[in-house]
Chains A and B, each alone.
With several copies, the nearest count.
Chain A
Amino acid sequence: MAGLLCFHWVGFMKFAIALLAGPQDPAARSALEFARAVLSSGHQISHLFFYREAVHLASLLGVQPQDEQDITAEWRQFITEHRLDAVVCIAAALRRGVLDKAEAQRWERPAANTAAPWELSGLGQWVDALQSADRAVTFGT
């Protein structure tokens, strides 16, 4: 009987969530709503990974019209509030001009446009996330 119950009891899980599409794509919101629901369901988000056009979410420079929601600000707030690891693929970010201070200095660019809570790091982080998480879900394919 206990065995049967165990079978149905999935328990709390670690989720890795990846986003591939940029702030202008509806997927940026789907991923955020899903991430919120993961936490409100009592599960854990072990990794957030931003690849391809999603690296633009880490830019601090976007200015949205006043009557529209600012998805990059919402993501930033969510990550900060829940102290999540938000890794932006460094190779994808460099190509697309999303740089933190260290990268801007290294590549002699005139400015940086991202900072904490976003962290630039390698694809290995995503590979690692896929290994250690109980579930991996990708948005913005």
Chain B
Amino acid sequence: MKSLLIISRHAPTRHAAREALDVALAAAAFDVPCGILFMDDGVFQLMRGQDAAQIGQKSLAANLQALPLFGVEDVLVCQHSLGERGLQASQCLLEARVVNNAEIATLIEHYDQILTL
């Protein structure tokens, strides 16, 4: 099996964020070794206290929490992106491993395929 890293870089309010999670969950359901890296505005998906109903949306929380249950092994968040946005890993609603630029470059080398979504 080729491993797959999904780089999710859209804010949770963008439909693209939901569709990136769908790809990760679909891949994991087919037993593809799969990781997900939240980067750029994608880190906003991990903010606690989002009340999506206020803006007429369905919460992403269930899809996010399904990631480890479905076997998405690596849940990662970009340190640089968090910092730029004034966020800390302790504020995240998933246990995501914080990775720096060098670690991201290594991750991208390590996985067989990368999808930026």
Contact of B30 among A65, A68, A128 (CB under 8 A): A128
Q: Please give, as numbers and ranges, the residues of chain B lying within 8 Å of A68 by CB-CB distance.
A: 57-58
- Number of B residues near A (Cβ < 8 Å) is 23
Given A26-B13, A138-B115: A131 in contact with B32 (beta carbons within 8 A): yes
Bound form: Cα–Cα A124–B32 in Å: 11
Q: Tell whether, in the assembled complex, residue A71 and residue B56 are in contact, meaning their CB atoms are under 8 Å apart.
A: yes
Bound form: Cα–Cα A92–B26 in Å: 14
Bound form: Cα–Cα A140–B42 in Å: 18
Bound form: Cα–Cα A130–B1 in Å: 10
- Number of A residues near B (Cβ < 8 Å) is 25
Q: Tell whether, in the assembled complex, residue B116 and residue A127 are in contact, meaning their CB atoms are under 8 Å apart.
A: no
Jot down 29 A-B pairs with beta carbons below 8 A, ordered by A.
A20-B117, A25-B14, A25-B15, A26-B13, A26-B14, A26-B55, A26-B57, A29-B55, A29-B56, A51-B19, A51-B23, A52-B15, A52-B16, A52-B19, A65-B58, A67-B58, A69-B57, A123-B26, A124-B26, A126-B26, A127-B26, A127-B30, A130-B2, A130-B4, A130-B113, A131-B2, A138-B116, A141-B116, A141-B117
Residues of B within 8 A of A (CB): 1-2, 4, 13-16, 19, 22-23, 26-27, 29-30, 32, 55-58, 113, 115-117
Residues of A within 8 A of B (CB): 20, 24-26, 29, 51-52, 65, 67-69, 71, 91-92, 122-124, 126-128, 130-131, 136, 138, 141
